[in-house]
Amino acid sequence: SSPQHALHVDRYRLILHALMSYYYRGSGSKASSQTVHKDYLTAIRDRL
């Protein structure tokens, strides 16, 4: 796992966090947002 690889994952995390925050701001469902966010991160980690 190279530093560049970690940077790539961080970029994905930032983008996903922004998307999740934007999507769930309307519904105000924070717990749901965190669960979905975690699932996305897990999926990304599995794919890399």
Q: How confident is the model at residue 1 (pLDDT cuts 50, 70, 90)?
A: low
CB 40 within 8 A of CB 16: yes
Query: Minimal CA–CA distance to 36: which of 48, 22, 7, 47?
Result: 22
Quick one: average pLDDT of 21-40? 66
Q: How confident is the model at residue 12 (pLDDT cuts 50, 70, 90)?
A: confident
**Beta-carbon-side half-sphere exposure of residue 27 (alpha carbons within 13 Å):** 10
- Sequence spans of domains, the chain: 3-47
For residue 38, pLDDT beyond 60: yes
d(CA 18, CA 9): 14
Three-state SS annotation for 2-44: CHHHHHHHHHHHHHHHHHHHHHHHCCCCHHHHHHHHHHHHHHH
Q: How confident is the model at residue 23 (pLDDT cuts 50, 70, 90)?
A: confident
For residue 5, pLDDT beyond 80: no
